[in-house]
Structure formats: structure tokens, C-alpha cells
Amino acid sequence: MSDPPLFTDIPNPYEDARSVPPPPKLPSAADAGPTRAQLSRTRFCALVGALALACLAAGLSWSMRREMSASFLALSVGLPAVAMFIAWRAASNSGRIGLGATSAELWTSLGGAGALFALSALGPPALNDVAFSPKNTVVCAALGLGLGALPFALAVVAYRHAFATLAFARMAAFGVAAGSFAAVFLRVYCPHDSALHVLLGHGGAILVFAALGVGARRYAAVRD
């Protein structure tokens, strides 16, 4: 009868444990996305800030107002305002199952908002005979960027890591909304009514903020 094996002859299952890499580090609370309550508070504050800015811009525009016909208000001011609402609604809509608007709904809304602004630039007929001026167009474009910067920044902060799908399209829609916001107030007080001036000087902010929205897609997307 042979002797029983010694315990030292039994292989150690943990012998190679030191060569195994440690498990991945769990994300800290600072790295985690915001809670639903935090998102609600942030979005409420952003909405209040946007409304306050709208009131301020409306007051300044009204103080510098010019004679405006009903058709001018309806087409040249009303259509950009509708475009702003359409783009904002498409971006912030949570959808039926909480994933936001579909791709078709987003692109349709963005196309509709752009078409409405373009239509507003073409009518009603010019109210003055001022020729197109590149200098005045650049000034209005700069003012548009200034007016739309805060609403766009508020949207970026309010919807941080909020979109599970199509973050680039939703942020582009927020950019279109911010640019349309600026276009509304530019149209109220700007005395230059040529279609080219409105398209470039007033609509330039729409294109710029839409591009910035696409650039902010990683900030708005849900983390993996």
C-alpha cells in the first residue's frame, strides 16, 4: 500500500492570482450621470433663465421698436418664433417610451424650422430701401451669436448626459432653437429688411449653434 500524497504535492489554485489584473475601478459618484431629481432642478433653472433672457431681450427690442405692420409681425417675427418652438420641442420631447423623438421626427422638425425661417426672410416686402450691406450683416450676425449663446449654454447644461439616442440631432435642434431665438429679436429692431441680409445676418446664428450642438453631442449623450 502506497503512502498518501502530501498536501505539498497538491497544486495551489491561487498560485497565478498575482498575475491576474485587478477588476476595473467602479465609477465614482462624481463620474456618474445626474439623477432624475438633479436633472429636473437643472432644467427648471435653465427654463427660468431662458425666460428671463427672453423678457430682457423683448424689453430691449421694444424700446428700439420701429413701425411694424400686422403682416410683418406675423411673417417676419412670428415664423421664426414658431421655428424656435418646433426645434425646441423636437429636442426636448421625451417620446412615447422615454427615448425622445424618432430620427424621422427630428429631421422633419429641423427641416420645417429651417424652411419657416427662410420663408420669414422672403416676406413681407422690404420696409425700406436700404441696400444690402456686408458690414451691417456682420454686426447682426455677431449680435445673433451674443443673443443665442446663453440659451444654447443653458440647454447644454440642462441636458448633460440626457440622451440615449441621436444626441447629435437633438443638440443640433437645441442649436436651431437658440439661433431662432436670436433671430426673433433681431428681426424686431433691425431696420434692414433685404432677404440676403436676414438670411445671412439673422440666420447665421442658427447655422453656428446647430454646428455647435453637433459638436456637443458627447457631452449630451448617456455614458456607457
Q: Which residues of 33-63 are buried (b: 16+ CB within 10 A; e: fewer)?
A: eeeeeebeebbeebeebbeebbeebeeebee
Beta bridge partners of 221: 163
Per domain, the residue ranges of the chain are 70-224
| CB of 117 closer than 8 Å to CB of 184 | no
pLDDT digits (tens, 9 = 90+) for 124-143: 654 554 677 888 899 999 99
pLDDT digits (tens, 9 = 90+) for 145-192: 988 898 898 888 888 777 878 888 889 999 999 999 899 888 887 878
Angle between helices 36-63 and 167-189 (to 10 degrees): 20
**CA neighbor of 178 nearest in space, from 201, 200, 146:** 146
Number of CB atoms found within 10 A of residue 5's CB: 8
Q: In this predicted structure, what is the pLDDT of residue 33?
A: 57
